[in-house]
Structure 1
């Protein structure tokens, strides 16, 4: 599922491939999906977007925003975005199809759930989108340790497990259950460990891991568990994921384990990430 690293990579690829292309027509909700979310009636997307030119794309957390004339198109996590050159075979099922005047296409398809929102600039009030636009990205200098410490404030934070601290509450928009696995491994923190048990040194290490691992994921073109705009898997080799479970930890050789926790899977090394 698209998270912050993939949103950044996808945005760079959209700017390189789609910028300047003119939208010829739009098909929305071609394959109805129970958990595909639209802004208002998807039937009006064509009226809103046809004839507009793609100006730029920007990442906000785990979302990708495209500006086209006076309109915005926002894709949330849970959306597979694919570019197809003119003449390439398109998928039979999709929830949003932008066809350009040169015959190329951008296709958005829902994995499990996701938003494909097209709207006049300024009309969208989704709180997750608003927070993602407002908060600093971990990839920026603004996301420094003093800022990170403000995320630790709040009476409920000490009782949160590390996984919930990183991936819930929009503390770090775009950081989800996928990217956090390698971050916690790098920091040698078990996903179930309570934040109250972390020392000041461990908090500094966790902060550094958030910054460095996300930078590496972006530099690698996204995680190898996800695909980019052209359908290619990312080049960042995940240490803890469905691809590595049961294999040896690269640090100590202990078998990587998987467990169900807080509505998803966690991966960890029981030796390097001891539960204290």
Structure 2
């Protein structure tokens, strides 16, 4: 399934966005806004991953606590409100570790496509802030785990999954890996085909459920509906599936995710 950007939204994307470095919901108790009446049911997440400037964190243990308390109303609310942590774009002190920071890459946007790219510069920055407890983090079409690993299945329905994760015990799960040109942060030089990217660990298997393609122009998204199994650092498993990535107003990267936890 393919959807294309609204050209007006693409033009607006060339404006410079200010970066923040605090975790809303951790340091100042502020959560991200969600639609007043989101279409969501138990076993689903509605994640606003539209921002270039921060990561949105989901903690499945916290969600499951509502299930154990039989607090359905609290659970539905928690499935739309998450901790957000801004992406650091500068170094507050010291010289850094030589790896953590913003990497500026040139992408062959108007030629062979963004798969062809070259590193142009590096600026050290602070380490990415994180909440104390989290399972998955989302940034537009990027997903990372908290020291977990991911398996892509051939299932396209949560109802068709085996009864539990024991069916996948012999499978190979892929951990996160270091990336320098996947998490696009600074678009102030986009007209020159230059993008500032965050150097960070990323799970490429899970991130493959929503792929950005350039060309064509305007850019297009490719959505994969497969169910993915995530092995969390606590030894538990969660099954996740991206059902939709378009918000009620047509904005891309509003992620509607089906999940089963613990699986």
Same fold (TM over 0.5): no
TM value normalised by structure 2 = 0.29
Higher relative contact order (CA 8 A, sep 6+): 2
Higher-strand-fraction structure: 2
TM value normalised by structure 1 = 0.28
Higher-helix-fraction structure: 1
Higher gyration radius (CA): 1
